[in-house]
């Protein structure tokens, strides 16, 4: 996209109504490859390029947080071993190639899930990138790796049970308190959740956090997802009235 086209696209957004946090379920890599007679890994390679473009766009727009469902716990246990290996290698390559860009664009890397179960090379590059970008104050890019929202909620419940076992009272616990035990405690809840490929489900992704997220589904497969689609999703978000359980008449004008 040219600089002129990019400025024109950005001008269509209301800067005062941007979602603070966008979460994306990146779906359709395998179907994209199959439709072209290519191996599934070709779709994953193409998808990595799309990640770079979307991250850059969010940083330029001024989005505070972007969370990408990069690798679910089910992916880790149910995908063919060679495909998982390729995905892990692509992740390492992405981190190696994008570290300089993250530093230049003031992007901070964050991870949720259980990355401790990932290969050593992946863990090493995650640790290195997180440390290198820790002081950045712009976009927080969160990768959900070996992630399951149900497991995350169970993790939080176990932490609460451990507190109770140490004699700390839990009767006054409220939603915000519980939220502090989730993997995403430092992030605002997602305002906008996007899923590509035409599927209309959350697939165990940010189930607690997305309670009031605006959902935007598109038939576009992830390797074909472009900046224009992201802008379309944000414009759709800005046209919606968010009630958070209230009736329209009770909302401020």
Q: Report, as residue numbers or ranges, the catalytic residues.
A: 27, 75
The secondary structure element, H or E, covering residue 67 is strand 65-72
Do residues 3 and 174 touch, judged by C-beta distance below 8 A?
Answer: no
Strands of 108-113's sheet in order across:
108-113, 140-147, 65-72, 21-25, 192-195, 214-217
Q: How many CA atoms lie within 13 Å of 144's alpha carbon, on the beta-carbon side? A: 27
Spatial contact of 29 and 199, defined as CB atoms under 8 Å apart: no
Q: Tokens in use for 178?
A: 């519980």
Separation CA 59–CA 106 (nearest Å): 8
CA 224 from chain centre, in angstroms, equals 18
DSSP state, 20? S
Alpha helices in the chain (DSSP H): 3-11, 29-35, 40-61, 73-78, 81-104, 120-132, 149-165, 175-179, 227-239
Instruction: Report the candidate in 127, 101, 115, 175 with the shortest Cα–Cα distance to residue 151.
Output: 115
Calculate the CA 26 to chain-centre distance: 9
What is the separation of C-alpha 202 from the centre of its chain, rounded to a whole number of angstroms? 12
């Amino acid at each position: 996209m040219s600089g002129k086209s990019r400025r024109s696209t950005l001008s269509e957004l209301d800067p005062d109504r941007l979602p603070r946090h966008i979460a994306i379920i990146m779906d359709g890599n395998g179907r994209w490859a199959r439709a072209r007679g290519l191996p599934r890994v070709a779709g994953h390679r193409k998808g990595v390029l799309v990640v770079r473009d979307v991250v850059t766009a969010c940083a330029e727009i001024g989005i505070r947080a972007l969370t990408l469902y990069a690798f679910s716990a089910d992916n880790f246990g149910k995908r063919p071993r060679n495909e998982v290996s390729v995905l892990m290698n692509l992740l390492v390559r992405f981190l190696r190639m994008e570290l300089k860009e993250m530093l230049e664009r003031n992007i901070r890397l964050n991870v949720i899930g259980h990355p401790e179960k990932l290969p050593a090379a992946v863990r090493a590059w995650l640790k290195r990138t997180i440390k290198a970008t820790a002081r950045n104050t712009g976009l927080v890019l969160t990768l959900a790796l070996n992630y399951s929202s149900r497991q995350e909620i169970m993790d939080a419940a176990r932490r609460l049970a451990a507190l109770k076992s140490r004699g700390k009272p839990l009767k006054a616990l409220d939603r915000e308190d519980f939220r502090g035990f989730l993997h995403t405690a430092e992030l605002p809840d997602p305002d906008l959740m996007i899923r590509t490929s035409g599927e209309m489900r959350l697939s165990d992704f940010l189930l607690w956090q997305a309670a009031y997220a605006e959902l935007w589904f598109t038939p576009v497969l992830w390797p074909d997802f472009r900046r224009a689609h992201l802008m379309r999703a944000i414009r759709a978000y800005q046209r919606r009235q968010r009630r958070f359980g209230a009736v329209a008449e009770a909302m401020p004008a």
